[in-house]
Amino acid sequence: MGHVVAGAVGLGELAQPSAGPAPAAGTPAAATPAAPTALTPEQEHAQTQQGIEALKQGKHIIRPGQKGAEVTLLQKQLHEMGMHVKVTGVYDAATTGYIKALQDGGGLGSDGIVGPKTLEQLQKLDQLPEKPKPGDDADKVDHMPDDPAMAAVLMFNRTRVANAKEDLSANQQADMKAFLKNWEKNKARYDAVAQKAGIPTKLVASLHWRESTGDFGTYLHQGDPLGEEAVNEPKPSQVYDTWEPAAQDALSQKKRIQNAYKIDSATTDEATLVSYAERYNGLGYHNKGHVSPYAFSGTDQYKGGKYIRDHVYSDTAKDEQLGVLSMLRAIDKHDADAAAKAAKALQDQKPAPPVPPPAPETTPGHQFAQ
């Protein structure tokens, strides 16, 4: 069992020093101390960070079932990072589930035992959830799921998305041009399916390109041909001959994931949409501590490694398909550029305002007759 470090920030709340001996009779009473000023969330989090660093440097070990100040500090760290962890001071099953899922994502081995490596992983993922600014129209929903595995995926992807920069190969650049042409041509079809499913249209288009390069003769589930029994998983609920109802069936099978991430047609948070896409494809990469190419290929976050067939992973193979994040961002830029171009064209079509006639001239000093 770990032990409390004397003086470590964040560890003293549960072990306050004694008040000391009572003052002697006749001793003037000390002035009542002023009430402590409430800390801001940022200040509280800074204290928690210092406590986590103290635990790491002290090589503390925290185990499932343990109770005390160290567990309180661990739970505060998870809670302040946005995870739905209750701060109880007891390393219970719920806390264990979150830690194991984060250990999976970091490739540490999911035993639930928290030591310096797990604490360092938490530090790498650490960021306070961003607060909306006044007048900000950005997505303000708390998308963190209650399910530990899906929450861990979002935690890792939040950091990756924040750091991701476009990194397209020559083949991917050509593929992106084809994808955007497909988007222009078939946006109405994607929109019809997206509206019924209650998810963003651009997400449907990106999933379709990942599964079958935009082929409307295939299942959105996994890219198998329509009109016959699917061979690969996940399988549709029935045989479909047309794309739209088949796509609706595929998305309905992922409704639990959509609800867990609180996604609707207005969702814009990139980390949330990418996490849905990764879960749509499966958690094989996450469970090995690898970056998913399904989500991040075409960015500098994905360096290589690929499942070359079901359950067979190769460290040397590289996925050359476009990842969902790169496609989402390309659509946003494409649509913004198109909107700006349309606005300029409309402005150019407006007739120039009429030139006012010149003011009448008068002779200086002339007086009109009365």
Residue where a domain terminates, one of 93, 126, 159 = 126
What proportions of the chain, in percent to the nearest 5, are helix, strand and coil?
Answer: 45, 5, 50
Which ranges of 67-147 does DSSP label H, i.e. alpha helix?
69-80, 93-105, 116-125
How many domains does the chain fold into?
2
Same domain, 209 and 285: yes
Strand partners, 163: none
Residue where a domain terminates, one of 98, 126, 154 = 126
Does residue 279 lie in a domain region?
yes
CB 274 within 8 A of CB 206: no
Q: What is the gyration radius of the CA atoms in the chain, in angstroms?
A: 29
Does residue 341 lie in a domain region?
no
Beta strand residue intervals within 138-228, DSSP E: none
What is the spatial distance between Cα 355 and Cα 366, in angstroms, rounded to a whole number?
A: 29
| SS3 assignment, position 96 | helix
Does residue 266 lie in a domain region?
yes
CATH number at residue 87: 1.10.101.10
Q: What is the pLDDT along the chain (370 residues), one digit of tens a residue?
A: 444 433 344 343 333 333 445 555 555 555 666 666 888 888 898 999 999 999 999 999 999 999 999 999 999 999 999 999 999 999 999 999 999 999 999 989 899 999 999 999 999 998 766 655 555 556 789 999 999 999 999 999 999 999 999 999 999 999 999 999 999 999 999 999 999 999 999 999 999 999 999 999 999 999 999 999 999 999 999 999 999 999 999 999 999 999 999 999 999 999 999 999 999 999 999 988 999 999 999 999 999 999 988 788 999 999 999 999 999 999 999 999 999 988 888 887 877 677 777 776 655 554 444 4
Range of the domain at 203: 167-326
Q: How far is CA 88 from CA 85, 111, 126, 283, in A?
A: 9, 21, 20, 30
Nearest to 51 by CA among 108, 119, 103: 119
Residue type, 331: I
What is the spatial distance between Cα 293 and Cα 281, in angstroms, rounded to a whole number?
A: 10
What is the spatial distance between Cα 299 and Cα 172, in angstroms, rounded to a whole number?
A: 11
The predicted structure's pLDDT at residue 358: 76
Same domain, 219 and 120: no
Does residue 234 lie in a domain region?
yes
Same domain, 219 and 309: yes
CB 240 within 8 A of CB 222: no
Same domain, 175 and 121: no
* Main-chain phi, psi angles of 299, to 5 degrees: -125, 170
Same domain, 103 and 190: no
**What pTM did the predictor assign?**
0.81
Does residue 73 lie in a domain region?
yes
CATH number at residue 179: 1.10.530
